[in-house]
Structure formats: C-alpha cells, structure tokens
C-alpha cells in the first residue's frame, strides 16, 4: 500500500457478542489505517477432524490467492483534507473473492456501505472499477461485478458450512492493514455462534476461529483444509480493536443463499415464520403470533412450545432462527408443537420479512 494514501479509520462496532467479556465488542474488519504493524507469525493449523484430502497451508495459499481481491471503497467525506481525505473523500479497504466466471465478486456489505466508487484490485496488479450488483445489510453480504478477461478470474469454490466441526483447521486470506494477500491459519474454535449485522439483525450459525484476522480482512474467504470457502471473515471480538484470537465468519451456506438471490434480483427476501419466541425451561415457547403470517394460518398459538422443525429437534430460539434463516419465503416446514401436554404437528408456509 503506497504511503501517499491517507485513510480515515472506519472500523465499525456492530455488536457485543452474547457472553463476551466487559468492554469487548464485535468489530467489523474494514481497514482505514495507514500504519504498518509489526510482523507476527500466524498460528499453526491443527485439527482433530482433518480429512485425508487435507492440503497444507502453503498449498491452499498457492491455489486460492489468485481468487482473492482487494476491495477499495471511496465515499464523500465532509471533514476537510488532511483530516478526511484528498479532494474531500475517504476510503475504506477490505477483501473480496471471485465467485464465478462472469466477474461477480463477493464481499461484506459494510466494506462498501456508503461508497460512491468501488475499485477491485487483482493479485496481478490489475485494478478495475466495480459496480454493485446488490447488497444485504441484514446478513452483511454484498456482490460486486467487474468486467475483466476470464484469465483474471480464479473462482473459489464454496464448501458446506454445515459440515464444519470444532477443531477443524482453517486458513484465512485477506488484506489486513492493507497488507495484500496475507495468509493466516488456525482452527475452528466454535460453530453456531450468533453475531449481529450492521443493522443489528442476528446472523445465525457464524463460525468462530482463532486464525488471526484484522481490519482489512472484511469480506475475505475462510477456507477449510480442502481449499473450500466455508465462510466470509467479518468480525472480531476484541477489547483493543485488533485480533485477540476470536474472529467470526459468515457461514458459506448462508452466503450461497444470499448471493444467489442478489444475482437473480439484486435484492434479498428473508423468510419469516411469524412468531415471537422466548427460551423457557421446557423449550422454545411462542410468546406471540403475527396476524396473517404463515404461523397464524397454520394455527400456531401463543403458549405453544416448538419442539421440532422437520426432523431437527428445537431446544433454543437460536436453533429455530438458524433453520428459518436457511430457508426462503414460500418454503413449507413441518413444525412440531407441544400444546397443553399434547403433541401437535402443523405445516407452515414461510412469509417474507423484507
């Protein structure tokens, strides 16, 4: 990164993760600084569930780095230069990756939020202006499009995030602090975490990792040891604002669902069950049912305890939200209820919340 680039810090505090220590917050990983940090050795990858086809960190870096890009988003700046940026503008830097051979690039929504111009830089050094295909604040996912020769496009494959296990080795590639194509590695520290999107909507099923990720990693890929993208690195839990060994990635299965909708229509519809719920000693209890919703039409009532959706048992509200988030409006689900000591099964057609 050239020394002439004057950037304003744009790190965005989006939420404190439930159960986090005092003062610790989940911080979005857009880079706006111009300093160069001291070099730090990345933690070694290890796993109790490494597949026999596992690649080395070096092999993953070699095959995947061509598909990882730098995303530079410029926006109007009201603070005069030199406190803002040259010509009254400011710039935020993040990461993205090549999704298909059509020139579609996936990144975080918060990387490009408020931008008036977006530039994508490829590992070859080629820089091109990008157009925004669509973005979804509720999942912090955005799709860009670039017109480049197919020779520039190394497509990265999405893996199945539902198969990720604690202890699996992972590799992250991104641009922390503007240091292009930095590779770090670690393990999956936890699965099924809940983080908050920029609009405070819960994002379910996030992958927690101790791989070192920092500001500028936002929108970058998190790989399993077979070289598949299992998530988008998006936030860290930190008191200092820098990596503390607790990072979070949006799961690839959610990424695939959202990106498919953005490429199809430029917008996203999120599934709605139509109930307010709370965790109680006997499970997930319905506190209220929205009139006219799919749950209402199916006969779900306040006081019902939701025990299962399809074959999946439900014991927490987070489990239920995760299942609903993985579906689309119009999908039908079989919901098992406990009402006045009796078991009841209903079929609910999901609505749309946006």
Q: Report the b/e string of 137-168 with b at 16+ CB within 10 A.
A: bbbbbbbbbbeeeeebbbebebbebeebeeeb
Residue 296 appears among annotated catalytic residues: no
Name the DSSP class of 101: T
Pair 42, 184: CB distance under 8 Å:
yes
Pair 69, 175: CB distance under 8 Å:
no
Choose, from 138, 161, 189, 218, the residue flagged as catalytic: 218
Choose, from 140, 180, 210, 304, the residue flagged as catalytic: 140
Name the DSSP class of 240: S
Q: Which structure tokens are listed for 295?
A: 């749950």
Choose, from 72, 75, 110, 196, the residue flagged as catalytic: 110
Residue 110 appears among annotated catalytic residues: yes
Residue 218 appears among annotated catalytic residues: yes
Pair 11, 32: CB distance under 8 Å:
yes
Pair 98, 67: CB distance under 8 Å:
yes
Q: Where are the beta strands (DSSP E) in 177-304?
A: 182-196, 202-209, 220-224, 229-238, 247-251, 271-272, 275-280, 283-289
Active site residues: 110, 140, 218
């Amino acid at each position: 990164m050239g020394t002439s680039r004057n950037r304003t810090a744009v790190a965005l505090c989006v939420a404190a993760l439930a159960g986090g220590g005092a003062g610790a917050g989940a911080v979005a990983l857009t880079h706006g600084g111009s300093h160069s940090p001291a070099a730090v050795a990345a933690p070694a990858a290890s796993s109790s569930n490494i597949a026999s086809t596992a690649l080395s960190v070096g092999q993953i870096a070699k095959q995947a780095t061509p598909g990882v890009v730098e995303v530079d988003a410029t926006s109007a700046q009201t603070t005069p230069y030199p406190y803002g940026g040259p010509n009254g503008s400011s710039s935020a830097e993040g990461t993205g990756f090549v999704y298909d051979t059509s020139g579609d690039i996936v990144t975080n929504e918060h990387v490009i939020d408020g931008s008036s111009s977006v530039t994508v830089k490829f590992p070859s050094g080629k820089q091109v202006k990008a157009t925004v295909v669509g973005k979804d604040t509720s999942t912090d996912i955005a799709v860009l499009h670039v017109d480049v020769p197919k020779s520039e496009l190394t497509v990265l494959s999405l893996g199945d995030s539902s198969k990720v296990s604690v202890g699996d080795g992972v590799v992250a590639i991104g641009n922390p602090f503007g240091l292009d194509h930095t590779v770090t590695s670690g393990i999956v520290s936890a699965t099924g975490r809940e983080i908050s999107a920029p609009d405070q909507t819960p994002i379910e099923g996030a992958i927690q990792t101790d791989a070192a990720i920092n500001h500028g990693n936002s929108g970058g890929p998190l790989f399993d040891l077979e070289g598949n993208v299992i998530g988008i690195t998006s936030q860290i839990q930190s008191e200092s604002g820098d990596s503390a060994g607790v990072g979070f990635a949006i799961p690839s299965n959610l990424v695939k669902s959202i990106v498919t909708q953005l490429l199809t229509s430029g917008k996203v519809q999120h599934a709605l069950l139509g109930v307010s719920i709370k965790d109680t000693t006997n499970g997930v209890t319905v506190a209220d049912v929205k009139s006219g919703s799919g749950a209402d039409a199916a006969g779900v009532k306040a006081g019902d305890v939701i025990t299962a959706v399809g074959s999946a048992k439900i014991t927490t509200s987070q489990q239920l939200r995760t299942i609903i988030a993985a579906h689309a409006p119009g999908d039908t689900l079989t919901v098992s209820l406990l009402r006045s000591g009796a078991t009841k099964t209903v079929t609910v057609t999901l609505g749309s919340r946006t």
